[in-house]
Amino acid sequence: MKDVTPHFVLVPLAAQGHMIPMVDMARLLAERGVRVTLITTPVNAARIRTIIDRVKRSNLPVEFVELRFPCAEFGLPEGSENIDLLSSPVYYKAFFDAMKLLKEPLEALLRSQHRRPDCMIADMCNGWTKGVARRLGIPRLVFHGPSCFYILCAYNMAQHRVYDRVTTSSSPLSCPMCLSRS
């Protein structure tokens, strides 16, 4: 008999503010009958181990798959698998380049499964997942975890070209069309 349970693969950005909402989404999807595979790395899995253990105890169909994060290949200190573990902003570009290198092991993992996922949900910062989803014929949704207020502010700042008027790195900014305490 053919397995008709929907299977989603979730690919969060390795940053706590992105991973935690994605783990919450995995749990919510699983509670509604979706089998979920959440992609992570060894260091990130260790950091959310209590959450992983809680999900496993609940018997929800959520699998956490750890892919090796290529720190050494990009000159990152060993264990720098999460943005907040980077010792300096100088490592940001290398971190995002390393994230992109996860595409090959992710694609290999998905190809090896007896049935391809029905959907991929990827963090907005993981644009590299687009090619993986396209090559495998998997529909891909983009998850944007920041709050609605953040999105409103970012939109208003861009629309009103606020950054064009900044003269120094310490110039005060005001977000148009948003509440102000002044």
Catalytic annotation, residues? 18, 123
Q: Judge whether 95 and 132 are in contact, CB under 8 Å.
A: no
**Which helix (H) or strand (E) is 42 found in, with range?**
helix 42-47
- Count CA atoms within 13 Å of residue 170 on its CB side: 0
Q: Give me the helix-helix angle, 49-57 and 16-31, nearest 10°.
A: 0
Alpha-carbon gap, residue 104 to 170, rounded angstroms: 42
Residue with tokens 């005060």: 172
| Centroid of chain to Cα 138 | 17
- Look up residue 76 and give its DSSP letter: P
